[in-house]
A and B are shown apart, each in its own frame.
Chain A
Amino acid sequence: MKTTSRTVEGVEILSLQGKITIGSGDVQLRDLIAQCLNDGKTNILLDMSGVSTIDSSGIGELVGSFTTVTNRGGRLKLLHLPGKVSDLLQVTQLITVFEVHENEAAAVASFK
């Protein structure tokens, strides 16, 4: 998994690209979130548009990231959810846990 990050109006936007699967990307995501929190960046928007594959381990890391950020008083939201990732969140009812946005500006504004 490759990632790029930028800050927009106090929101850390992490663009994830590639696979978030067992042994490839799952631990990376955990470390990435931990680094953001250590840097005091607690409003996090994950841009998922570049995610090509995700499995149950990747879904688990998304849940773990959400919990970690929430427990630190922050918020984690999702942007540009690919259809197949959305399907996996739907069938496990996790889609109700995450706030999902299709527009970056609206997503950033939602943190205010």
Chain B
Amino acid sequence: MNPESEHIEITITSRFENIELVQVIAEHICECAGLDDDGSHWVGMAVREGVANAIKHGNRLDTRKRVFTTFDVKNSNLAIHIRDEGDGFDPEQVADPLSPINIMKTSGRGIFYMKTFMDEVDFSFPDGRGTELVMRKNLAGRNGADATD
């Protein structure tokens, strides 16, 4: 793998057991690009949460629907696109998991973790093409120690 410029795509069906495959690829890309083990782990964690949301909330566990993930590395910048084939959602309606009324809820932390571990997290909703999640991370000179600061 060329750590300076690389494009990798993976398409999976909507099964939870496929999540780890995408996570492992994410971690491998980060390691090849020079991120340390902890940093790579947290990027993999963000990818896990994104793919899990695409399967569960986007494709609603419909195994006929797929999740498309692309990884692009250029000049130590990693861009990850995760797209499902669902009906989309309103990001404004996502509750804050740190709010006292939400802290004991059993769900609703996935996007928060993505935002914690990545530099940028955005959602878009291309007409009729489900939800597209874009996450970005600058891999240069970063390590895992600051991931949870």
Contacts and interface: CB of A to CB of B under 8 A. Distances in A.
A55 B50 CA distance: 11
Interface in B70-125: 97-98, 103-107, 109-110, 112-113, 116
B78 to A, nearest CB: 20
The secondary structure that dominates the A interface is helix
B56 A61 contact: no
A92 B106 contact: no
Nearest to B147: A87
A51 to B, nearest CB: 14
A84 interface: yes
B48 to A, nearest CB: 6
B49 A55 contact: yes
B5 to A, nearest CB: 30
B104 A22 contact: no
B17 to A, nearest CB: 7
A44 B98 CA distance: 26
Interface string A37-60: 000000000000000000111011
Categorize the interface residue count of chain B: 20 to 34
B136 interface: no
B16 A23 contact: yes
A21 B113 CA distance: 14
A52 B108 CA distance: 22
A64 B106 contact: yes
Contact of A87 (B98, B103, B104, B148): B148
B106 A60 contact: yes
B52 interface: yes
B113 A91 contact: yes
Contact of B109 (A66, A90, A92): A92
A97 B104 contact: yes
B116 A60 contact: no
B56 A22 contact: yes
Contacts of B16: 21-24
Contact of A93 (B17, B19, B52, B98): B98
Interface in B27-82: 41, 45, 48-49, 52, 56
The 9 lowest CB-CB distance pairs between A and B, nearest first, are A23-B16, A60-B106, A64-B106, A56-B109, A56-B110, A87-B148, A22-B52, A60-B107, A91-B116
Interface of B: 16-17, 19, 41, 45, 48-49, 52, 56, 97-98, 103-107, 109-110, 112-113, 116, 147-148
